[in-house]
Amino acid sequence: MERLLTVDQVAELLGTTVRFPRRLIEEHRIEYVKVGRHVRIPERAVAAFIDAHTYEPVAPRSAGLRRVA
């Protein structure tokens, strides 16, 4: 069975305050599970959120000026 994380655990993983994962839940921007009154976030949903918001660096452009003919 997959591990379900608390909002506090997700905040710690992301290095944020608990307000951030709570806002993600409120805005339905991350998958979550309701267990009675408790909210849990599947570990894979956190990994998917991180992957979706990870950007690779772009190679720098050359500093030379372009000639216009």
How many Å apart are CA 7 and CA 25, to the nearest integer? 9
How many Å apart are CA 25 and CA 29, to the nearest integer? 6
pLDDT interval class at 61 (50, 70, 90): confident
What is the number of alpha carbons within 13 Å of residue 47 lying toward its C-beta?
6
48-60: pLDDT as tens digits: 999 999 999 888 7
12-33: pLDDT as tens digits: 999 999 999 999 999 999 999 9
pLDDT interval class at 37 (50, 70, 90): very high
- Return the pLDDT at 64: 63
